[in-house]
Chains A and B, each alone.
Chain A
Amino acid sequence: MKGHNFKVLLWKELLDLSRDYKTLATSLLLPLIFFPLLGFLSLALVTQQPVNIAIVDMDREELHSELLNLTFSSRDLVNKLINGLKGYGFNVYEASNSSVVYNSSIDLVIIIPKGFTFNLLSLNSTAHVEIYRRANVQASARAEAIARAIINGYSNAVSKEKVEAIIKITGLNASSTAILYPISTKLQLVTFGGREVGMEEELKGLFARVLVLALSVVITPATSFIIDGIIGERERKTIEMILSLPLPVSLIIYSKLVAATMLGLLTAIADALGFVAYIVLTTMALGGNISLPIDPILLLLHSVVAFFTILVTISIALPFITRTRGIRSASNIASGIAIIGTIVFFTGFIVDYSRLPTTIKSILYIIPYTHSILSIQYYVVGYTFQALMHLLVLVILSIVLLVFSTKILNTEKMLLAPPT
């Protein structure tokens, strides 16, 4: 009988929710388009942002070294910079003198000073390039990074030509690469068990971190929904008839909690799908061919973790929410919980909780969200048992807190706002 009543209560909650288009749009559509929109807008706006670059060639020299049999010109670097930077969509101008630094419409000034070509050709001097970047103009930093890459590329090419010329003169049996790069490094990614893995494992780790961060997104709609289900119903005068039904108040609350949790779960899935879409679309837009390692078990684990994370959140919030006088004060509580959740899950995004010292971990275990993070993080690094143990702790905590929360509630507390 309890099962039947619960199903009927849940049916009403879900029917009402399915017609609440505003809630559905904010809970499902926004997380789904959040990452793709963020990526698309960032990419689109960054490329649309006008960055003005001035290149000043104060050297204007072309010199030849009889010894090395090499000819270098400052014009070579200027041309490389102009072509390279224009290729990224920047506005590049050539200026005649360094006073252009005082022109506020120019975001980046690259000056090739007098003596540059001489030093470039020399075997005991270094050629310098001066870069002036407008502070607080974010796009100019990107332009600077690209300019540096072009200069470095040119620098490497020049040094290679010089080394090859010296080898030729001396008749040594040498390789320019061996001289220029005497040490090379080799990277092999391995799991905790030492198994060799590819870059996709790194992406899997990144994906898992984003899934942890996504947990912070699911808390807000779920708590808002439960606030609406209890305080909202009290304010809209719909709760009194429900409470007069021959049902234990806990059953009414459970139906609302499950509906809220289902909404939160859908939000979590939408969020994860949005992230997948973001990665795929960004990769396609950049012409890349990165195959995203989507682990279905990880997605399933994330869904289960999200479900119980929401449940534990609501269970903690419930006694406080029901003792508020109205939606506004209940929303303040929800905001507080959302902030705590965001802090914890953001740290989970940047910190490997599983690698923290035991003393710190023991303290963090008090916070239920720690188990949500650890469950996902342990799974990704291959510690399935630990992942399941933390999931189990989260489940137990959710149920204990839920039972406690509903035990201290009664119809009077649900019906009447506390006195001022």
Chain B
Amino acid sequence: MLNGLNNNVVIVKNLVKRYGLRIAVAGISFIISRGEIFGLIGPNGAGKTTTLRMIATLIKPDSGGIFIKNINALKDPVKARKYIGYLPEEAEVYPRLTGYEHLLFYAKLRKPDHVDETVEFGIRLSGLGKRVYDRAGDYSKGMKRRLLLAIALMTKPVLAILDEPTSGLDVYASVRVRKMIREYVRETGSSVILSSHNMLEVEYLCDRIAFISRGKIVSIGHPKEILEKYSASNLEEAFVKAVEEAGYRYEGT
């Protein structure tokens, strides 16, 4: 699956993160290649968001290493962030700013030399049309999510980190967002790491997936490979089997 070292966009090595006595991430390692959509799948509290926040350099791991485009993200987080577009799980908009002003603000900071074309691409990605000039506080949940996703992707980052990109959206909005991610990767060749507990979404979007439970990866590979490995008819079944095989009992959250 990996096409050689030069093609690797992200290398995550044995990440560990503790919050007091609780271990949120207990030694996670994986590699993401250029143009790949990589999915982290697991229940709530499994460590997905903490892992993504560490890759986004917002949280410092207790141990381990993160390399983005060969940059040590722990040593030089500001430089590493230049290659990252990030959509947090529970991100919100500034209600008093318009969608356009959101795009303009982030474009000026991320691509100061190509503001106009970046904003234009952002407007196209968001699909907001003329509503982009309305205040974001008046948007529906789906529109807000599309705007935030457009902000994360409009600069065509080497790595897009999307934490539950369709979280809280209805079916139509979710389909639209998934389509948006798929088309974006096809158009730009960027890599994406996303988290989800929606197995259908993951199956539709991801080239490779990692099942994560209690801060550890219990299985990693192409969705079809994983289904075959666990002789499962769907990813939900495969997830449960992978967790049990790893010696955990899934208790839910």
A237 to chain B, nearest CB (A): 4
**B132 CB within 8 Å of chain A:** no
26 A-B contact pairs sorted by A residue (CB < 8 Å): A8-B105, A12-B97, A12-B105, A15-B96, A16-B94, A16-B97, A19-B96, A237-B88, A237-B90, A237-B91, A237-B92, A238-B93, A238-B94, A240-B86, A241-B91, A241-B151, A241-B152, A243-B58, A244-B81, A244-B88, A245-B106, A245-B109, A248-B78, A411-B57, A412-B60, A415-B59
**A419 CB within 8 Å of chain B:** yes
Q: Would you call A240 and B81 a contact (CB within 8 A)?
A: no
Q: Would you call A8 and B108 a contact (CB within 8 A)?
A: yes
- On whether A15 and B91 interact (CB within 8 A), knowing A8-B108, A244-B84, A415-B58, the answer reads no
Task: Please report which residues of chain B, range 99-118, place their CB below 8 angstroms from some CB of chain A when the two chains form the complex.
Answer: 101, 105-106, 108-110, 112
B189 to chain A, nearest CB (A): 21
Q: Would you call A240 and B91 a contact (CB within 8 A)?
A: yes
Report the interface size for chain A: residues with CB under 8 A from the other chain: 28
Closest chain A residue, CB of each to CB of B19:
A419
Query: In the complex, which residues of chain A have a beta carbon less than 8 angstroms from the beta carbon of B108?
Result: 4, 8
User: CB within 8 A of B81: which of A5, A20, A237, A245?
Assistant: A245
User: CB within 8 A of A241: which of B60, B86, B101?
Assistant: B86
**A236 CB within 8 Å of chain B:** yes
B159 to chain A, nearest CB (A): 11
Among B90, B106, B152, the most chain A Cβ lie within 10 Å of the Cβ of: B106
Binary A-proximity of B69-94 (CB < 8 A = 1, otherwise 0): 00000000111011010111011111
**A9 CB within 8 Å of chain B:** yes
**B37 CB within 8 Å of chain A:** no
**B20 CB within 8 Å of chain A:** yes
Among B19, B87, B108, the most chain A Cβ lie within 10 Å of the Cβ of: B108
Q: Would you call A416 and B81 a contact (CB within 8 A)?
A: no
Binary A-proximity of B175-192 (CB < 8 A = 1, otherwise 0): 000000000000000000
Task: Please report which residues of chain A, range 236-286, place their CB below 8 angstroms from some CB of chain B when the two chains form the complex.
Answer: 236-238, 240-241, 243-248
Q: Would you call A411 and B59 a contact (CB within 8 A)?
A: yes
Q: Would you call B97 and A416 a contact (CB within 8 A)?
A: no
Query: In the complex, which residues of chain A have a beta carbon less than 8 angstroms from the beta carbon of B112?
Result: 1, 4
Query: In the complex, which residues of chain A have a beta carbon less than 8 angstroms from the beta carbon of B106?
Result: 241, 245
**B202 CB within 8 Å of chain A:** no
Query: In the complex, which residues of chain B have a beta carbon less than 8 angstroms from the beta carbon of A4?
Result: 108, 112
Task: Please report which residues of chain A, range 10-24, place their CB below 8 angstroms from some CB of chain B when the two chains form the complex.
Answer: 11-12, 15-16, 19-20
**B66 CB within 8 Å of chain A:** no
Q: Give 7 nearest A-B pairs by CB, closest first.
A: A246-B81, A244-B86, A19-B96, A240-B88, A237-B92, A246-B82, A8-B108
**B194 CB within 8 Å of chain A:** no
Q: Would you call B59 and A416 a contact (CB within 8 A)?
A: yes
Query: In the complex, which residues of chain A have a beta carbon less than 8 angstroms from the beta carbon of B60?
Result: 410, 412
Task: Please report which residues of chain A, range 108-143, place their CB below 8 angstroms from some CB of chain B when the two chains form the complex.
Answer: none
A11 to chain B, nearest CB (A): 8
Task: Please report which residues of chain B, range 166-216, place their CB below 8 angstroms from some CB of chain A when the two chains form the complex.
Answer: none
B135 to chain A, nearest CB (A): 8
**B153 CB within 8 Å of chain A:** no
- On whether A411 and B96 interact (CB within 8 A), knowing A5-B109, A9-B109, the answer reads no
B55 to chain A, nearest CB (A): 10
Q: How far is it, in angstroms, between the C-alpha of A11 and the C-alpha of B104 when the chains are bound?
A: 11
Q: Would you call A246 and B59 a contact (CB within 8 A)?
A: no
Query: In the complex, which residues of chain A have a beta carbon less than 8 angstroms from the beta carbon of B86?
Result: 240-241, 244
A271 to chain B, nearest CB (A): 25
Q: Would you call A236 and B59 a contact (CB within 8 A)?
A: no
Q: How far is it, in angstroms, between the C-alpha of A349 and the C-alpha of B15 when the chains are bound?
A: 58
Query: In the complex, which residues of chain A have a beta carbon less than 8 angstroms from the beta carbon of B57?
Result: 244, 411
Query: In the complex, which residues of chain B have a beta carbon less than 8 angstroms from the beta carbon of A243?
Result: 58
B132 to chain A, nearest CB (A): 16
Closest chain A residue, CB of each to CB of B86:
A244
Q: How far is it, in angstroms, between the C-alpha of A411 and the C-alpha of B59 when the chains are bound?
A: 7
Q: Would you call A240 and B109 a contact (CB within 8 A)?
A: no
Q: How far is it, in angstroms, between the C-alpha of A12 and the C-alpha of B60 when the chains are bound?
A: 27
- On whether A15 and B101 interact (CB within 8 A), knowing A241-B91, A244-B86, A411-B57, the answer reads yes
B170 to chain A, nearest CB (A): 20
Query: In the complex, which residues of chain A have a beta carbon less than 8 angstroms from the beta carbon of B20?
Result: 419
Q: Would you call A411 and B92 a contact (CB within 8 A)?
A: no
Q: Would you call B56 and A236 a contact (CB within 8 A)?
A: no
B63 to chain A, nearest CB (A): 15
Query: In the complex, which residues of chain A have a beta carbon less than 8 angstroms from the beta carbon of B78?
Result: 246-248
**B125 CB within 8 Å of chain A:** no
Query: In the complex, which residues of chain B have a beta carbon less than 8 angstroms from the beta carbon of A248?
Result: 78
Q: How far is it, in angstroms, between the C-alpha of A4 and the C-alpha of B107 when the chains are bound?
A: 12
**B226 CB within 8 Å of chain A:** no
Query: In the complex, which residues of chain B have a beta carbon less than 8 angstroms from the beta carbon of A246?
Result: 78-79, 81-82, 109-110
Query: In the complex, which residues of chain A have a beta carbon less than 8 angstroms from the beta carbon of B109?
Result: 5, 8-9, 245-247
